Structure 1
Amino acid sequence: MRALQPVEKGYIFALLTICIWSGFIVISRVGGQSPLTPFDVAALRTVFAAAILMPWWLPRVLNSSKRKLPWYQSLTFALLAGVSYPLFAYGGFQYAPANHGAVLIAGTLPFFTTLFALALLREKPSFQRMLGLALIISGVTTLFVAMMRGASWESLPGDLMFLGASICWSLFAVLLRHWQTRAFDVTLGVVAFSLLVYIPIYAVFLPKALSQASWGDIALQGFYQGGIVVCCAMWTFAKATELLGAVRVAVMMSAVPVAGTLLAIAILGEVLTPASAIGLMLIFLGALVGALARARVILPVSP
């Protein structure tokens, strides 16, 4: 049996990430409608992930010779993907529907990632990738306008938080490639530094509503956000980025609005209009076109 090539493995890891992120949209919206605050959900995510991965990250914390990443890289990854991203995302789901999160977090990811890749990696998108991005942006715009038609502007704070989450994750993705890190090392660094930085601040200063939530809500958010999203999806995303590149993976993540919106319709009862269906189709086509494109690296000019 033929062994899978690195690019083929990258596509598999990206597909797994898409599946988990689609569930993340719905589970996070459920958490946003529960008594739990965004700070609670972020804390549950961090504690559950840290407990599961403790046999791997704790020896690295106690013994500097076993650490694979410089402390500043682990801290940066943790602040972006372990603290800022979840707080923006969970905060957004308190104000806006799940389909807004699916569109604005994953749908805008290719745009922000392309900008960061151009600045940090000197990657210039090819014509095919620009075409894919244009289709994605058109689809995101169509979908968002359709969602906001007849709706109140009460979701605006949540929508802005979703954009903040997308920016944080885009920068995280490009830095993965820029620093040429290994997926498992990044996951352990994010978990350890998130625990050391965020949990003390949460315990002392941030509002909590854990006592008002059911054990079911706590278990669901802790298990999915910490066990599935962090321990699995963060690793599969980092692995896909390692094998395929930050921009290509970000473009593929544009399939999340399609899957996430369909899950929101099926599970949360949210409505899909004809205009929304057109937007989803444009996003899907853009993700397909962009994922197959190659980026060009801009060589520095000799002095």
Structure 2
Amino acid sequence: MAWLSGGTLGTPQNLGHAFFLGSAVAFAFYTVAMRRAGLDGLHAAALAAVGDFLLYMPIYWTVVGATSLAQSAWTDIALQAVVQGLLTAVISYLLYGRAVSILGASSGAAFAALCPAMTALMAIPVLGQRPGTVDWMAIIAISAGVYLVSGGRLPGRGT
């Protein structure tokens, strides 16, 4: 999908693609480590949220600058804290951790792969954007992969 959407080698898009690939690998490590450590969703979410804060806040503070953060409206900061801090970091990790503890690491991680497909499908009613042919092919391939990894049976292969 990235290749057919104009992502030729040597363009700035390749950096974004590399970041997506890197984040997928990091999330796979997170899933395996969480499962092996025997952490439940709440503890894993707390560790991930605090770790993310400790890692990214100094970088943000250095790159953007303390004055930029101090000049931001408190309502903007509060909104970002709720959305990114509570909803994204805590609740999503909590639910993901619960799914991994119930389904296992491989099946739980497989459902995370549905995020791009679900985002593309949600863009239809929310943004009025229709996926192109390549996007539909990617959605079908991702969905079929998740179905198979989650233990779905192929037609004609028994019950």
| TM-score, structure 2 normalization | 0.74
Return 5+ residue gaps in structure 2 as ranges.
153-159
**d(CA) in 2 for partners of 1:273 and 1:163?**
22
2:144 to 285, 288, 298: 285
**d(CA) in 1 for partners of 2:12 and 2:113?**
25
Residues 192 and 255 of structure 1: CA distance in aligned 2, closer, same or farther (over 3 Å): closer
Structure 1 residue 292: deviation in Å?
A: 1.7
Identical positions, percent: 19
Structure 1 residue 245: deviation in Å?
A: 1.4
Coordinate RMSD, CA, aligned:
3.2
2:25 to 164, 167, 175: 167
2:62 to 182, 197, 205: 205
2:86 corresponds to 1:227? yes
Counterpart of 2:14, as a letter, is L
> Which SS does the other structure have where 2:2 is aligned?
helix
Counterpart of 2:150, as a letter, is A
Structure 1 residue 144: deviation in Å?
A: 2.8
Q: Deviations over 1:15-41 (max 9, x none)?
A: xxxxxxxxxxxxxxxxxxxxxxxxxxx
1:248 to 91, 97, 107: 107
**d(CA) in 2 for partners of 1:244 and 1:265?**
30
> Which SS does the other structure have where 1:162 is aligned?
helix
**d(CA) in 1 for partners of 2:13 and 2:29?**
25
State the aligned residue count. 150
Alignment of 1:270-281 (within 5 A): 272-281=131-140
**d(CA) in 1 for partners of 2:60 and 2:14?**
29
Structure 1 residue 206: deviation in Å?
A: 3.3
1:153 alignment counterpart: 11
- Answer whether contact 1:183 1:239 (CA < 8 A) is retained: yes
Structure 1 residue 291: deviation in Å?
A: 1.1
| TM-score, structure 1 normalization | 0.42
**d(CA) in 2 for partners of 1:283 and 1:268?**
22
**d(CA) in 2 for partners of 1:212 and 1:158?**
29
1:187 alignment counterpart: 45
**d(CA) in 1 for partners of 2:132 and 2:70?**
39
1:60 alignment counterpart: none
